[in-house]
Amino acid sequence: MIENIKSMFRNMNEETRTVALEQLKTEFKLASHKEVKNKWIIGGRIPEENQERIVQLFQFLLNKQYRTISEIIVHAEVVS
């Protein structure tokens, strides 16, 4: 599951990553978003009991990111 989480994180744009890290920091009461990124995401040391929730959150954020990108593309085509 950790590789799936890392893959989803790589597919996020910078804005989505920032939101994801802040949400994880808040939800799991961690000291900083750097701790989340370095230890959990990059280091792969995500507590097993938190992995399912992180997958759910990342799926939601990626879907939101893709919808936003699709809306921008559609809007740009309409304007052209």
Confidence (pLDDT) at 75:
55
| Number of neighbouring beta carbons within 10 Å of residue 38 | 12
- Helix then strand then coil, in percent of the chain rounded to 5, is 80, 0, 20
pLDDT tens for the chain, 80 residues long, are 999 999 999 999 999 999 999 999 999 999 998 989 999 999 999 999 999 999 999 999 999 998 887 666 655 555 55
The DSSP secondary structure of 23-46, one letter per residue, reads HHHHHTT-S-HHHIIIIIIIT---
- Domain residue spans of the chain: 2-79
Number of H helices and number of E strands within the chain?
Answer: 4, 0
